[in-house]
A = this chain, B = another copy of it.
Amino acid sequence: MLTDPLSDEDPSPLAVAAPARALPRARPAPHVAIVGATGAVGVELIACLEARAFPLASLRLFASARSAGRRVPFCGTELVIEELTDDSFEGIDIALFSAGATISRHYAPLAAEAGAVVIDNSSAFRMAPEVPLVVPEVNGAVLAGHGGLNGSGGMIANPNCVAAIMTVALAPLNRVHPIRRIQAATYQAASGGGAAMMEELRAGTAAALAGEDFAPSVLPHPYAFNLFSHNAEVDPRSGYNGEELKVIAETRRILGAPGLPIGITCIRVPVLRAHAIALTLSFDAPVSVTEARALLAAAPGLRVVDDRAANHFPMPSEVSGQDDVFVGRIRTDLGDPTGCSLCLYVVGDQLLKGAALNAVQIAETLVGG
């Protein structure tokens, strides 16, 4: 058992900072575990907990045996990565999983049985009816019926990154003017494929610039200055890939709009960590750009960047590292002769709102609510 540098007995700067967050009916700070602590999302989970001064009784970091023993800075001290085992979850209140669906399928039920609330970033349980799929700004209300941190465990699913980012921008419009049809094309960053894909983009690009050969190992083709249809398996019947089908199913579930027609093309672009989405939304009647902009500007977690005169719209270079989802290019769709469609262009940090931040926001809701 590790010495816990953040135990109640040894208040850290974090614990001191915690009361600065307004938590109306504060519970005792939880014991938190991160599963997949060395992955691209795991690193951001740790950073989010620190940056947001998440109230912690303790934080334990789990990964594969290969990473066990590695030390990770946290709140002015160091935590040591532990090997994940079946017994890792004793005394844990919240387990943040981000190690892929296979790991989640085995370990998340064990964590829940041990009394932890699992917040799972994988796709393993996202469509399970008993597991809420949550973007707090959009459907955080579904957590009200959840058991919370009462030691009875349970699972909450963190959505696919595109679905999370997209629904933040869809919800404020959908609440007032129900969306009847969505057409989307994505521009997805390497981070969605994990740290290894980000490194392959960097290394492959360096080799391309140097005119050197580079043998890709994560992808079957070059990534440098290249883009490609998303690498998820393609459904032979529909021709949609797994990523596209996830976004369709999860978006419907998060918006509470079963059967909502959604067409989508998911493309991976040579960008490191922010996803962009070109959207066309159809309504029953025309929605003015002025009204749409006002609804989006007033919505939590969204920032409108829509400066036509300066040609300044959301860009990965400005959105990477930001908590908010950015939205711009708000205009009436010239492709809809009825005038009932709007176009938007949405960019969000895949590792933050698309993954780690959203998971931590779910945890904050549990702790604070």
Contacts and interface: CB of A to CB of B under 8 A. Distances in A.
A351 to B, nearest CB: 14
A127 to B, nearest CB: 16
A262 B335 CA distance: 4
B265 A329 contact: yes
Given A263-B280, A270-B270, A270-B271, A240 B316 contact: no
Contact of A234 (B181, B228, B309, B345): B309
B267 A276 contact: yes
Contacts of A26: none
A182 to B, nearest CB: 6
Interface string A248-285: 10000000000001111101011110001010100000
A315 B261 contact: no
Chain A contact patch, size range: 35 or more
A263 B311 contact: no
A231 B311 CA distance: 7
A212 to B, nearest CB: 13
A228 B183 CA distance: 20
Contacts of A276: 227, 267
Interface stretch (A15-23, A98-106, A153-161, A218-226): A218-226
In terms of DSSP, what is the predominant structure of the interface of chain A? mixed
Given A234-B311, A263-B336, A272 B343 contact: no
Nearest to A232: B311
30 contacts: A183-B183, A185-B265, A185-B278, A187-B187, A187-B227, A225-B272, A225-B316, A226-B271, A227-B269, A227-B271, A227-B276, A227-B316, A229-B328, A239-B289, A239-B308, A239-B330, A239-B331, A239-B332, A240-B334, A248-B334, A261-B334, A262-B335, A263-B280, A263-B334, A263-B336, A264-B334, A265-B343, A267-B276, A267-B345, A269-B270
Interface of A: 181-183, 185, 187, 201-202, 205-206, 209, 221-222, 225-229, 231-236, 238-241, 248, 261-265, 267, 269-272, 276, 278, 280, 289, 308-309, 311, 313, 315-318, 328-337, 341, 343, 345
